[in-house]
Structure 1
């Protein structure tokens, strides 16, 4: 009788073990990616990992395989803990530095891009396992970014940070896009704060369309006029002049007078537009109100600080 009880107990333990093995180990983990504008991995997943349609997705699958696209919601680092720049090297921002997703880092000018324009843009983040207490950071590439070159941290400038968020399956925010032309990229970081150091990363290609640079420097006028005049009809001159003049004045005026001296720049401090700080022996003026984060040192974010 004693031996029979042991056999029954062993069978019950085996059954329980089998059931537990069927439960996904990552069921409690957060997962997700940008769905609008779609991230590169979300886009290739929707095209179909086995039969991608765009040349960029075909190349990404050829480089990293189809499984990366099936696992579209796991472009992440388990122990990021906010140390994104230290953990992810330049050229590997879209893959989070993971070999599995290396196809997402391919520097190409033909990644399918969402048409956008300067001003408000409603974005959507698709979370397959949303968790509360999360921070979301959004960045955009500088006008000088070249999509045929590997993406670097220095190519990005901050757009908006949403702290202490409780995302749902499809969470929407509004970003205010700056003046840009041509192909650009929106980069996002979802950093879990409660119960986990895990962070997720996305690269979403966007296209602002053609056009000239809206912020030329005053030195453009003397160099452009003599070059254009001998080769182009006189109708070019009035076209160039109004484009240069109105864009120089508004970019200079708001940064003339600081409101107060804040001392040395410090991460975690809230700064208002016009405040001045010192960093590495230089003085900088705040261009727009924000809360400083590690990596947003004045020399790294010209959209937030101007050297004076």
Structure 2
């Protein structure tokens, strides 16, 4: 291998290692949370590719993650920070149609690629299952609401709007420190569950989970792709 090419490759590897290191520090300092089962779009991309995010095979094996990593890799490293503040309970006013998965382009364009329609990796679920949402900082929850896209909505080609959703699960108040622990060391907070019921559903859909954290007017908006068996 020519020396210049070898040096260029070494510099790329060093830069990637530095990005992982600094991002890990940011995550630890500002940890919040996300849906982990079924995984949110950016958590799933981080979980599958975080240790191999420069592998070009992602482009064919996981093309929606590939476009998201290339659009803004910090959306995956900060999978636990997709929230808006000062919503005052008016979710539809805070987040325009077509931008639900990015929480209305919160953080500028960081999460915008998550709104892109396409064949996101989807988890197969039954019409009645338990969704798991992980709270790294143990904020607790005033509530969690989980919606599913209505029959006829096509996640492969359509951007999601509020009118495309129907409520399929919710919780009441969950106190800080409530919930369950996880065996994954990356998930070092507490996990809350939502019982999801979508009778009669088949095929591909998007789940939309809203988590209102208890410590402040801070709301998380999380898209998870599923296939109802």
TM bucket by the smaller chain?
0.7 to 0.9
In the alignment, what sits opposite 2:45? 44
Kindly provide the CA deviation profile for residues 111-142 of structure 1, in whole angstroms up to 9, marking residues without a partner as x.
Answer: 11011222x20221111112235211110110
In the alignment, what sits opposite 1:187? 208
Distance across 2 between alignment mates of 1:132 and 1:203: 20
* 1:81–1:199 Cα contact (<8 Å) kept: no
Distance across 2 between alignment mates of 1:82 and 1:30: 23
Distance across 2 between alignment mates of 1:161 and 1:111: 24
Q: What displacement does 1:30 show?
A: 6.8
Kindly provide the CA deviation profile for residues 215-245 of structure 1, in whole angstroms up to 9, marking residues without a partner as x.
Answer: xxxxxxxxxxxxxxxxxxxxxxxxxxxxxxx
CA RMSD of aligned residues (A): 2.2
Residue in structure 2 matching 1:56, options 53, 56, 64: 64
Can you give the 5+ residue segments of structure 2 that lack an aligned partner in the other structure? 1-24, 180-189
Q: What displacement does 1:165 show?
A: 1.4
Distance across 2 between alignment mates of 1:90 and 1:128: 28
Q: 1:51 to 1:191 in 2, by over 3 A?
A: same
Larger RCO of the pair (alpha carbons < 8 Å, separation 6+)? 2
In the alignment, what sits opposite 1:123? 131
**Structure 2 length as normaliser, TM-score?**
0.73
Residue in structure 2 matching 1:158, options 164, 167, 191: 167
In the alignment, what sits opposite 1:84? 91
Can you give the 5+ residue segments of structure 1 that lack an aligned partner in the other structure? 1-22, 210-308
User: Any runs of at least 4 consecutive aligned residues in structure 1 with deviations exceeding 6 A, and if so which?
Assistant: none
* 1:62–1:103 Cα contact (<8 Å) kept: no
Is 1:139 the counterpart of 2:159? The answer is: no
In the alignment, what sits opposite 2:5? none
* 1:123–1:175 Cα contact (<8 Å) kept: yes
DSSP 3-state at the match of 1:203: strand
